[in-house]
């Protein structure tokens, strides 16, 4: 496994729509492992292929369900890794929530972004097998953020307010 270079705005690939993945070979498996390692090292909870300069519909997400719940504060919860290939949001909740997001490709900025509270996604796993998943809360926010990357959309495009956190402000972990 190897760390990949994360690209930053104004890198043009971050604004381009990606192409579907069609080959599920050894090279793809190495790429997925590299993306996971890069995401963890950054550190982030998600990483999309355009962020490492690849125009393909691939994202990785790793997050512990319930990590932000008050009753779990201070607990080390097991994280779950998701590989999303050619993902598509198929259902969204009517309810939307505003939350603070950051991005590994836009370091030093955070913003308030309104997202659906719950979504359903269909995608392929790392072996090309289809799956569906329903996610809500922070996990739904992460999935929406990463899928946006695959369409050339950044959190700053959807934010109602963007700012540079002050040193004494508790900066959130970037979503990706």
Q: How far apart are CA 104 and CA 47, in angstroms?
A: 8
Among 146, 167, 171, 172, which one carries the catalytic annotation?
A: 146
Q: How far apart are CA 24 and CA 125, in angstroms?
A: 10
CA 38 to chain centroid, in Å, comes to 13
Q: Give the containing element (helix H, strand E) for 135.
A: strand 130-136
146 is catalytic: yes
Which residue, among 25, 50, 47, has the nearest Cα to 35 in the 3D structure? 47
Which tokens belong to 32? 């997925």
Collect all residues with Cβ–Cβ distance below 8 Å to 31 and sequence separation of at least 6. 49, 54, 58
Alpha-carbon distances of 129 from 3, 22, 30, 83, 88, rounded to whole Å: 26, 12, 18, 11, 14
Angle at 150 between CA 120 and CA 166, to 5 degrees: 95
Active site residues: 146
């Amino acid at each position: 496994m190897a760390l990949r270079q994360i690209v930053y705005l104004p890198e043009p690939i971050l604004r381009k729509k990606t192409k579907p993945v069609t080959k599920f070979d050894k090279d793809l498996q190495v790429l997925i492992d590299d993306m996971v390692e890069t995401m963890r090292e950054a550190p982030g909870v998600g990483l999309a292929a355009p962020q490492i300069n690849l125009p393909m519909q691939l994202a990785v997400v790793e997050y512990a369900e319930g990590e932000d719940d008050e009753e779990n504060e201070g607990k080390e919860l097991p994280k779950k890794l998701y590989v999303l290939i050619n993902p598509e949001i198929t259902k969204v909740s009517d309810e939307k929530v505003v939350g603070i997001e950051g991005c590994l490709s836009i370091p030093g900025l955070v913003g308030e972004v309104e997202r659906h509270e719950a979504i359903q996604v269909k995608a392929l796993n790392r072996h090309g097998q289809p799956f569906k998943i329903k996610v809500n809360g922070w996990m739904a926010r992460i999935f929406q953020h990463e899928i946006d990357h695959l369409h050339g959309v950044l959190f700053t495009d959807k934010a109602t307010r963007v700012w540079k956190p002050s040193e004494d402000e508790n900066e959130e972990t970037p979503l990706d």
